[in-house]
Structure 1
Amino acid sequence: MYVNSSAGDTAQRAQDSDLFEKAARGGHVVSGLVHLLIGYIAIRLAFGDSGSADQSGALGTLAAQPGGRIALWVAVVAFAALALWRIIEAVIGKKTDQDAGSAMDRLKALALAGVYIAFTWTTFQFASGSGESSGQQNAGMSARLMENGFGKAALVLIGLIVIGVGGYHVYKGVSKNFLDDLEGHQSKSVERLGIAGYVAKGIALIGAGGLVVAAVFTSDPSKATGIDGAIKTLGAQPFGRFLLILAGVGIGLYGLYAFVLARRAQM
């Protein structure tokens, strides 16, 4: 009991730290920059340029710029702080909650912690010079899993989970539930930004999950290349250039919404 109380007190003190909160909010800023870069790459693809329209492509683009490695190390710290903040929320609830929060709120915080831990690791790889295309990594992992029935079932489950997450993003955007994550009353421009951003990202995730499932049923692991593959699949359709531009703008709008989160998110 003493250990649990001590851990809770430590977590509470961490939440009360202004410096820690600012570092965690910095994670949203970095997320916004990454999504803006993904959107930019998608628009470039529409006009015939090459690149990976996903997190690895965005981080690789940033690493290639003057001072890019330094910026990536800053991003590692910000993502790690946001991941730790979400872990604390899963343990003791949100700082702004009057009580410990519901079990669903804690589960969401834990899931978000997992996302930001993955972001932290990927960013660390690029900051240290060992980053690789996530599309190639996904295809390679899919090829290994597809060597047996259990692995294929796991891939289908992963694909369905990604589709579910994408569907939740679309729902969250259309229903405007994202406003519950923000402090105070929001303007119509913030509402529109959130709707467009969540719907666009949700559609991209649904496409990525669908490609994973399709890879299993077609025995073609090269299809399971994540968001980059989903965006490039859009480009291969009739009116592909228009769809790529639309996807790029939508993901970029999600990036702008992340800046709103950095300032107004309920922490």
Structure 2
Amino acid sequence: MSAQQTAGRVARSDALEHLARVGLLAYGLVHLLIAWLALQLAWGGGGGSTDQSGAMQTLASEPFGKPLLWVVGIGLIALALWQLTEVLRWTGGLSGSGDAKKKAVTGIVKCVAKVVVYAFLAFTALRFAAGGGSSSSSQQQQTTSGTFALPGGRFLVGVAGLVVIGVGIYQVIKGLRTKFLDEIDTSSASSQEVRVVRRLGQVGYVAKGAAFVVVGGLLTYAAITFDPSKATGLDGAMHTILQAPFGRLLLTLVALGIAAFGVFCFFRARYPQRT
């Protein structure tokens, strides 16, 4: 049996699909927590990190938080594995040519990026569940500082910043063009649910994209100024938005958009894409 056939069987397995649903719910929950922390920052009621680590810390501080973090971590690992099977399925198209090969390469790149994101979030969740964990912002600063010490490190950090900006722009375009509908199977959904999913995805992806652009901008600025303290990640992006003209309003809109994306993930869990 080929790797593509094996990957297809694994991706269609009920066990992995159920775990992936848990992962999508967890992914949505993380975004809702980030949105809540951003709203608190906007209206003067927050002092924690408004990023993934802040969301995990918020969960860990609850009486039921650490057991829930284990579930979140395991679900996100399943989600990463689900995307990994997609990578293997796309490899079959690399032997083709023209548009077919281009589509396969694009599919692989997208799936690998998702694997990295889900695996990172799973690692973060499991660290906080085990009683560890630290600020994502400080981790990014340490990583940037270490990269600066490498030959051509400043250039690498600058390129990374531009890539993140590109990802943000792609997210905005994906939201405006409703390309996210390719990732959810709404064939059994009502027309009203489809409209809700469309609006949630549009708002959510645009807001996430805007946040990514700011994160990438901060990373690029860190490379230009040769100052790793400027690479403050999503938390720094939220503070940067707040300091802009009409910052409180802008940060509130971003927070509501990220919350919309979280709810969109819940719909994805209910109507997962059929691989």
Q: Which amino acid aligns with 1:221?
A: P
Percent same amino acid among aligned pairs? 43
Unaligned 5+ runs, structure 2: 92-99
Rounded Cα–Cα distance in structure 2 between residues aligned with 1:40 and 1:245: 10
Query: Using a 3 Å threshold, how does the CA distance of structure 1 residues 232 and 88 change in structure 2: closer, same or farther?
Result: same
Matched, 1:47 2:49: no
Rounded Cα–Cα distance in structure 2 between residues aligned with 1:140 and 1:206: 21
Q: What does residue 163 of structure 2 align with?
A: 161
Q: What does residue 107 of structure 2 align with?
A: 105
Cα deviation for residue 219 of structure 1 reads: 2.4
Cα deviation for residue 265 of structure 1 reads: 2.7
SS in 2 for 1:57: helix
Q: Structure 2 residue aligned with 1:88, among 76, 85, 88? A: 85
Q: What does residue 38 of structure 1 align with?
A: 34
Cα deviation for residue 255 of structure 1 reads: 0.7
Q: Which amino acid aligns with 1:13?
A: R
Q: Which amino acid aligns with 2:75?
A: A
Matched, 1:245 2:241: no
Cα deviation for residue 106 of structure 1 reads: 2.9
SS in 1 for 2:220: helix
8 Å Cα contact 2:23/2:72 also seen in 1: yes
Rounded Cα–Cα distance in structure 2 between residues aligned with 1:212 and 1:42: 20
Rounded Cα–Cα distance in structure 1 between residues aligned with 2:9 and 2:248: 51
Q: Structure 1 residue aligned with 2:139, among 133, 137, 140? A: 137
Rounded Cα–Cα distance in structure 1 between residues aligned with 2:85 and 2:55: 28
Residues 116-173 of structure 1 show CA distances to partners (whole Å, capped at 9, x for unaligned) of 1111111121111110000011112212222355111111111111111111100000
Q: Which amino acid aligns with 2:52?
A: Q
Matched, 1:121 2:128: no
SS in 2 for 1:208: helix
Rounded Cα–Cα distance in structure 1 between residues aligned with 2:3 and 2:176: 39
Rounded Cα–Cα distance in structure 2 between residues aligned with 1:258 and 1:141: 29
8 Å Cα contact 2:154/2:226 also seen in 1: no
SS in 2 for 1:228: helix
SS in 1 for 2:152: helix
CA-atom RMSD in angstroms: 2.0
Cα deviation for residue 93 of structure 1 reads: 4.6
Matched, 1:188 2:158: no
8 Å Cα contact 2:5/2:89 also seen in 1: no
Query: Using a 3 Å threshold, how does the CA distance of structure 1 residues 247 and 77 change in structure 2: closer, same or farther?
Result: same
Rounded Cα–Cα distance in structure 2 between residues aligned with 1:78 and 1:91: 20
SS in 2 for 1:102: helix
Query: Using a 3 Å threshold, how does the CA distance of structure 1 residues 6 and 189 change in structure 2: closer, same or farther?
Result: closer
Q: Which amino acid aligns with 1:80?
A: I
8 Å Cα contact 2:57/2:128 also seen in 1: yes
Rounded Cα–Cα distance in structure 2 between residues aligned with 1:207 and 1:65: 31
TM-score of the two chains, using structure 1 as the length reference: 0.91
Cα deviation for residue 58 of structure 1 reads: 0.3
Matched, 1:236 2:243: yes
Q: Which amino acid aligns with 1:55?
A: Q
Q: Which amino acid aligns with 1:103?
A: V
Rounded Cα–Cα distance in structure 1 between residues aligned with 2:273 and 2:110: 14
Rounded Cα–Cα distance in structure 1 between residues aligned with 2:235 and 2:106: 31
Q: Which amino acid aligns with 1:262?
A: A
After superposition, residues 69-84 of structure 1 pair within 5 angstroms as 69-84=66-81
TM-score of the two chains, using structure 2 as the length reference: 0.88
Cα deviation for residue 6 of structure 1 reads: 5.7
